[in-house]
Each structure stands twice: as C-alpha cells, then as structure tokens.
Amino acid sequence: MNNSMPSDQVYAALQRRDPALDGVVFSGVRTTGIYCRPVCKARVPLQKNITLYPTAAAAETAGYRPCLRCRPETTPFSPAWKGTQTTVNRALDLINDGALNTGTVCALALRLGVSERHVSRLFAEHIGASPTQVSKTLRVQKAKRLLNTTPLPLSQIALQAGFPSQRSMRSAFLTLYGRPPSALRKHKAIKPLTPKETPHDPS
C-alpha cells in the first residue's frame, strides 16, 4: 500500500470507525504529528490532513508519534505486517525474538539465507519501514506493556524489552512520545518491605 490520502470510501470507513480497518491501516494526521488506529475515539480529522500507512513502524518512520488514547503501536503484527513473503514472516519472527536487539541487519539476512539488500527491499515493499525501525517499535511496545502491567524497575524493563541500557530506552521514548518512560507508567512500582514492615509470623 502506498502512503497516501484516504479515498472517499476509506475516509467514510474512518468516520464510522470501521473495525475491519483496524490493524490494516494507520492514520497519520499532518496537523498534529500523531498517528492513530481507525477505531480511535478521537475526532476524525479532515480527509486532506490524513496520510495512511500500512504499519505502525511505517508511520513512525514518517515522523509520527503514536496516539496515547488508541495506542496504535500495540498492534504491530497485524495481517498487513505479514505481507505475502515467507521471508518477511520469518524475518518478523526473528526480530520479535530479539534478533536486532544486539545483532545487525546483515546477520539477520544471513540467517534468512538472503542478502541484506533483499531484506531491506522486502521490508520497504511489505512493511513500509526498515528492519531496524520494526525492531525499535517492538522494543518500545514491549517496554510500554511492562510499564503498564508490572512493578518492575525501569532498568529491568529496559533489559527485558531488549534495550542495551535504561538510557537507550529513555532516548527511544523521548523520541517517540516526547516524554520519558516513567511519565507513561500507569501505576507506581511496589515498594519493598523494610525489616520493620515485614509481617510477623505468630507461629
């Protein structure tokens, strides 16, 4: 899918928040610099201000930030991401397993049995973003999920999400969201009990 303004038919579907488009297209809004899922509850922008992208990574590559309301970056492996190529599917699985957390695109291509150039071309065709950008989107997604569902400290979240350091995770969040990971946390970390606070066992 070429990045373009939605047709009248697609725009009408966006206006009614058609769930059939969810995960298939992402709407980048030029006036706000934000991209959304088609089912987002926010007011639908004017048709001329929307650019459609096939994946969350493609929208982020174009410079858009994910909407904090509909969280479009949490749907990276939609059918649109899978494309039609077995090589793309295998590459996505390897990236999801952390192949690019510390490795290179060249090493990924070797594991796939193709050239680095071929991998890059397939990703440009089917994903609309580079393998590196896809990996970055996945790391941020994993970190954001851990922020919202666990009391883990930021250092452990960075490690589990595949970032080389807490500083690199912070940099990725600042670039994407304009704020640090701690500002997006929905609950505070559980404070460990001190010796005086440790429950006494009457037995």
Both tokens assigned to 90: 């295998």
Q: Tokens in use for 148?
A: 């919202």
pLDDT tens, position by position, 170-194? 999 998 888 999 998 875 544 433 4
Domain positions in the chain are 21-74, 81-130, 132-184
Query: For residue 172, what pLDDT is reported?
Result: 92
**For residue 153, what are the CA distances in angstroms to 68, 96, 192?**
22, 22, 12
> Of 51, 41, 60, 57, which is closest to residue 6 (Cα–Cα)?
51
This prediction's pTM: 0.63
- pLDDT tens digits, residue range 38-66? 999 999 999 999 999 988 888 988 999 99
pLDDT (0 to 100) of residue 27? 95
Identify the burial level of 54 via C-beta atoms within 10 angstroms of its C-beta, where 0-12 means exposed, 13-18 middle and 19 or more buried. buried
Q: Give the residues of the chain that fall short of pLDDT 50.
A: 80-81, 83-84, 189-203
Residue with tokens 């922008």: 45
Interatomic CA distance for residues 176 and 166, integer angstroms: 15
Give residue 83's pLDDT: 46
Q: If one looks up domain 21-74 in CATH, what number appears?
A: 3.40.10.10
Q: Which CATH number fits domain 132-184: 1.10.490.10, 1.10.3720.10, 1.20.1080.10, 1.10.10.60?
A: 1.10.10.60
59: its two tokens: 């929208």
d(CA 60, CA 49): 17
**Tokens at residue 98, please?**
């952390």
Give pLDDT, residue 143. 93
